[in-house]
A and B are shown apart, each in its own frame.
Chain A
């Protein structure tokens, strides 16, 4: 690993600054591993299963758990995740249950648990009310796919006050100016979108991913994790050469759909075999 300029917001390797996500990624780094981040939507097919699957991920090599809030209009998600969230909503999932999921996982494991959510459900509950409940449940923070720092003034203030992580996204299309602003506004890690598109397994993660990660590092981010399209340990290994963490979503959702919690555990174990850092 090269060393990157220390940034107060994203914190240096030794200065996780109370960030649970940063601490989890730094722990993996200290063990010579790329951090593995696993995503599942809450309430698919029910809340109990989400908790069990989250615990199974944590016990099979996943460093950070990302739990999505099912939302009626998920514009950044591909078919697999859309179908899962539609089912979760049809099965009666309501937003406050997200805190049960977070608490259920954090009570049983040491994994950092982040919530991935489109912004309107948070706005509806109230940014402060949502954040306080998330913190009380032991949550690390939020990943916000349709909230850019430009619109996030209230979230920036509340998350700072409560010590929650703020994971904003950067993309291949992100301008240098926006990259700097987003890196500065982020806490925990920066989420690098690997391709221009929506969530879904892809056979290869484009060359664009490395450029995005390099640009984020150059802007001062100490932890940059790559998401969208990752589904195998080979991809995890490949991305681990230049990124600090790898996010897997669709493949885990499909595993849960097709094989239940055991299949999630198996896939997590397989993915984790790709996390050992190989020299660049």
Chain B
């Protein structure tokens, strides 16, 4: 943990100058053991809120109202459960990774298999829920942002299933690199709009989606893909992903008879991590570890380690940690993983970091790719490169646990649960290029050089 976590002001206060921790909240958490589960927003400590144009506030109010009513409506929750079970394929498995565990100090490692969900990642949980909410609001059109294409594909999938028009905003550079994912979205009936504004990356795709939303808010729901943004998005996106942690907790108890020592997940915006962490938030003996993209190394400036090195600020509607320069301009992030390549992070993670309930560390591209290869070869599971950051983190956590055993304890007494948030099929070209597996004259070699993540 760095001392950057001291840099948190209260809502509406000057974060740049007032380097004060939210001491009251941290103290309450530490001394009174109050529940951290189901935090409703709009604020998580001093984070979250609605830093948004007035034009969109009515839509956010409508969304919040619809969501609150839906949660209390047995018909809605039954619909979600039914889609999760018979469409997405839940519950996802919890798989013990015995051979991979040998590289984690010999502790026991369990993988929460979100990679086995329909569309290949945890993203489906959120898009099905939000698409149902859109229908309840009478909206006929959903818009979404996407970086590598995973959330875009998931959104297009949910829209096809529920008969909604779908428009996906994607950085122009990404549409070229991810041509096959663009085709996939189009096959699913979605329109993909390349975004040529600003830095032409994920954050600019979000900006453009927000501009669309302002102009079309009467018919359109913005299906945000991560647990960030203005209230109620952070708590709503978490709600639809809570199933990950709830299932994992029940499964680990069933398989081992006890709670894990540590839970690991990767963090970009932070939706898979918050869904996983939520199941264990009140189990104070379970350590929660989030792993951010360290890119080329946080000392190089080319990374996406928002909590590790960012400062509180506002972007896309929420106050949270933010990669920003001295002027408050958003900085460009860098990661081999497009899904973690975002200069912001969900506000609930910022809060969990400040109060010390969860720990956040960077994992470099090189560390992630080593874990990517290792899991593939020891378990026969090719993970998403995003997920490989959590696996590399689990290797570190496992070794620390093994180094810290009491007298008479064995490494195999320690248990780690890792959220295997997505499968790596989309990353084969990137990985093949990275590990130099492609013949020099192959078409794939050319694609890999352009950074394609299929």
Contact = CB atoms under 8 A, between A and B. Distances in A.
Contact of B328 (A95, A145, A148, A172): A95
A128 B17 contact: yes
A198 B216 CA distance: 11
Contact of A193 (B11, B18, B54): B54
Contact of A94 (B15, B204, B327): B327
B328 A155 contact: no
Contacts of A94: 327
Interface string B303-347: 000000001011110000010101111100000000000000000
B51 A119 contact: yes
Contacts of A150: 49-50
Given A71-B329, A86-B198, A124-B313, A169 B17 contact: no
Contacts of B214: 75-76, 196-198
A43 B204 CA distance: 22
B329 A89 contact: yes
Interface string B178-215: 00000000000000000001110001100100110011
B35 interface: no
A155 B314 CA distance: 15
B16 interface: yes
A160 to B, nearest CB: 14
Contacts of B11: 151, 153
Of residues B51, B54, B58, which shows the largest number of chain A Cβ atoms within 10 Å of its Cβ? Answer: B54
Contacts of A182: 54
A153 B12 contact: yes
A72 B14 contact: no
B292 to A, nearest CB: 20
B70 interface: no
Interface string B286-314: 00000000000000000000000001011
A144 to B, nearest CB: 10
A3 to B, nearest CB: 26
Interface string A48-92: 000000000000000000000001111110110010001001000
Interface string A117-138: 0011111111111000000000
Q: Is the interface of B mostly helix, strand, loop or mixed?
A: mixed
Interface string B26-61: 000000000000000000000001111111111101
A171 interface: yes
Nearest to A96: B327
Nearest to B15: A123
B137 interface: no
Given A146-B52, A148-B52, A151-B11, A75 B328 contact: no
B63 to A, nearest CB: 13
Given A145-B53, A151-B51, A178-B54, A73 B198 contact: yes
Interface in A148-181: 148, 150-155, 168-175, 178
A261 to B, nearest CB: 26
A78 B211 CA distance: 8
B215 A198 contact: yes
Interface in A11-41: none
A244 to B, nearest CB: 19
Contacts of A71: 328-329
B217 interface: yes
Contact of A123 (B203, B204, B210, B328): B328
Contacts of B207: 73-75
A146 B61 CA distance: 16
Could you say which of B56, B57, B215, B328 has the most chain A C-beta atoms within 10 Å of its C-beta? B328
Given A120-B322, A196-B217, A197-B214, A154 B13 contact: yes
B197 A82 contact: yes
A182 B57 CA distance: 12
A211 interface: no
Contacts of A125: 16-17, 327-328
B314 A120 contact: yes
B226 to A, nearest CB: 16
Contacts of A95: 327-328
B253 to A, nearest CB: 41
Contacts of A170: 54
A127 B324 CA distance: 17
Contacts of A254: none
A193 B315 CA distance: 22
Contact of B50 (A124, A126, A148): A148
A149 to B, nearest CB: 9
A147 interface: yes
Nearest to B218: A196
B49 A151 contact: yes
Nearest to B327: A95
Given A124-B324, A154-B14, 7 more contacts: A72-B329, A73-B330, A124-B313, A124-B328, A126-B18, A145-B53, A178-B57
Per CB-CB distance, the 4 closest pairs between chain A and chain B, nearest first, are A124-B328, A126-B17, A121-B328, A173-B58
6 contacts: A75-B207, A78-B211, A124-B328, A126-B17, A169-B54, A196-B55
Interface of B: 11-18, 49-59, 61, 197-199, 203-204, 207, 210-211, 214-218, 311, 313-316, 322, 324, 326-330
